[in-house]
């Protein structure tokens, strides 16, 4: 296999048809990605881009011989996929570990049946800490796409070497991080949890606002997570799994604008319920305060203000559950639709 070179995303045009695109999409590259619009090679279907790459390695796709590798952003799933391309033999040795890490990093889910889930979590937290200390946290670069395309390159160069030095370590030798300790602590602070399969909603009650890796840990069968904290503090969020292309059967996203309208009729706190557009990577329905940046919304609930509502818990749950029950009646679960189809469905639902 020839030597690989990681290049900035915007350099694809310099090497048409010679670039492997991991966890992104470009018409002039060969995609190994779960992004909408990115064609997945036959027999490589998977939920994360990392596992798509691993299956491509198993199937010995000839496109893996391409010299140039790129991504338009840095995150755990994208990095692990790129690392696997650079280290195919070792990647297959760690197939289950890398797959679990990718799902924790991208979907914030934990498979507690996987024996080494704590090592996977610990490595993800170590990558997060190193990224923030040496470079910048997710969405911490200027909010211009071209900036992230360029700014993420040093991250890949650094971690391609650094991760190779820790992946083989036993869990006790993987560096400890405050985030890892926080997640383990927050898993113990979940007081109640259930999933309403009919609307694929995971409802989580916690003693305090939780880290995402704890909050979403058991949401594998859900498309949305409703979090409930003391003093009538609530958030409802569409998962990233409904933004990308997965093998999961899920409902298409619907607008939460009318749900906000319903809640605002009863809200007497002086604040208003708001939510991002359904095309956002992860729209959050929450009581507004100061508008959160993308960086702040990506950070866990335990790091942002969550305001008390005047709406009682049972009433809030009923309004939200009935909203999705009613609108999902006319929709069916299936594979990820393109955004044109999702917009059309929303027009029909709210006409």
Q: What are the tens digits of pLDDT across the range 320-336?
A: 999 999 999 989 899 88
Quick one: pLDDT at residue 268?
A: 98
Quick one: pLDDT at residue 286?
A: 97
- Quick one: pLDDT band at residue 146, thresholds 50, 70, 90? low
In angstroms, the CA 162 to CA 169 distance is: 12
Q: Span 150-167, mean pLDDT? A: 97
What length is written for the chain?
351
Quick one: pLDDT at residue 1?
A: 58
Question: Is residue 284 a contact partner of residue 239, using CB atoms and an 8 Å limit?
Answer: no
Please give the structure tokens belonging to residue 103. 């799902």
Note the pLDDT tens digit of each residue in 164-222: 999 999 999 999 999 999 999 999 999 999 999 999 999 999 999 999 999 999 999 99
> CA separation (Å) from 335 to 92, 246, 247, 295?
28, 7, 7, 29
Quick one: pLDDT at residue 273?
A: 98
Q: Which residue has the tokens 């292309």?
A: 245
Please give the structure tokens belonging to residue 301. 């609930």
| Dihedral sign (CA 227, 245, 29, 90) | positive
**Could you say which DSSP state residue 63 is in?**
G
In angstroms, the CA 277 to CA 86 distance is: 37
Quick one: pLDDT at residue 145?
A: 56
Q: Span 125-141, mean pLDDT? A: 91
- Quick one: pLDDT band at residue 121, thresholds 50, 70, 90? very high
In angstroms, the CA 42 to CA 31 distance is: 12
Q: Which residue has the tokens 């009581």?
A: 287
Q: Pseudo-torsion of CA 289, 291, 293, 299, nearest 10°?
A: 20
Residue from 184, 221, 183, 202 nearest 47 by CA: 221
Q: Which residue has the higher pLDDT, 143 or 5?
A: 5
Quick one: pLDDT at residue 293?
A: 84
Is 150 strand, coil or helix? helix
Is 190 strand, coil or helix? strand
Question: Per-residue pLDDT for 42 more than 70?
Answer: yes
Mean pLDDT for the chain overall: 95
Question: Is residue 190 a contact partner of residue 211, using CB atoms and an 8 Å limit?
Answer: no
- Quick one: pLDDT band at residue 16, thresholds 50, 70, 90? confident
Question: Per-residue pLDDT for 233 more than 70?
Answer: yes
Quick one: pLDDT at residue 71?
A: 98
Residue 196 bridge partners (DSSP): 201
**Could you say which DSSP state residue 10 is in?**
G
In angstroms, the CA 198 to CA 64 distance is: 41
- Quick one: pLDDT band at residue 147, thresholds 50, 70, 90? confident
- Element at 30 (helix H, strand E): strand 30-32
Q: Which residue has the tokens 């704590």?
A: 118
In angstroms, the CA 292 to CA 295 distance is: 8
Question: Per-residue pLDDT for 49 more than 90?
Answer: yes
Question: Per-residue pLDDT for 14 more than 70?
Answer: yes
Question: Per-residue pLDDT for 70 more than 70?
Answer: yes
- Number of other residues whose CB lies within 10 A of the CB of residue 340: 8
Q: Span 68-87, mean pLDDT? A: 98
pTM score: 0.95
In angstroms, the CA 17 to CA 29 distance is: 5
The angle formed by the CA atoms of residues 103, 300 and 240, to the nearest 5 degrees, is: 40
Question: Per-residue pLDDT for 144 more than 80?
Answer: no
Residue 190 bridge partners (DSSP): 206
Note the pLDDT tens digit of each residue in 245-295: 999 999 999 999 999 999 999 999 999 999 999 999 999 999 998 788 888
């Amino acid at each position: 296999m020839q030597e690989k070179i990681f290049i900035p995303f915007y350099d694809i045009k310099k090497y048409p048809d010679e670039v492997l695109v991991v966890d992104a999409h470009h018409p002039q590259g060969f995609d190994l990605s779960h992004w909408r619009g990115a064609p997945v090679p036959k027999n490589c279907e998977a939920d994360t881009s990392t596992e798509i790459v691993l299956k491509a390695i198993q199937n010995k796709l000839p496109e893996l011989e391409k010299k140039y590798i790129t991504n338009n952003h840095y995150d755990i799933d994208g990095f692990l996929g790129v690392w696997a391309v650079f280290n195919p033999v070792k990647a297959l040795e760690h197939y289950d570990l890398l797959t679990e890490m990718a799902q924790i990093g991208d979907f914030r889910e934990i498979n507690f049946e996987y024996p080494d889930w704590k090592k996977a979590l610990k490595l993800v937290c170590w990558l997060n800490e190193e990224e923030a200390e040496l470079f910048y946290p997710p969405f911490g670069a200027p909010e211009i796409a071209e900036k992230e395309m360029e700014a993420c390159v040093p991250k890949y160069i650094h971690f391609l070497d650094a991760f190779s030095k820790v992946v083989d370590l036993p869990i006790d030798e993987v560096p400890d991080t405050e985030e890892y300790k926080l997640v383990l602590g927050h898993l113990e602070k979940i007081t109640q949890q259930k999933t309403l399969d009919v609307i694929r909603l995971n409802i989580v009650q916690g003693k305090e606002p939780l880290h995402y890796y704890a909050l979403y840990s058991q949401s594998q069968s859900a498309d949305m997570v409703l979090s409930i904290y003391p003093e009538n503090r609530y958030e409802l969020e569409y998962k990233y799994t409904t933004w990308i292309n997965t093998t999961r059967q899920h409902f298409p996203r619907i607008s939460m604008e009318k749900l906000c309208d319903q809640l605002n009729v009863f809200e007497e706190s002086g604040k208003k319920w708001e939510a991002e557009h359904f095309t956002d990577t992860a729209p959050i329905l929450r009581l507004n305060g100061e508008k959160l940046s993308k960086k702040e919304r990506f950070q866990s609930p335990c790091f942002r203000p969550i305001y008390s509502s005047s709406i009682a818990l049972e009433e809030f749950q009923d309004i939200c559950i009935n909203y999705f029950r009613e609108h999902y009646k006319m929709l069916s679960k299936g594979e990820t639709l393109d955004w044109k189809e999702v917009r059309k469905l929303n027009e029909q639902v709210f006409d």
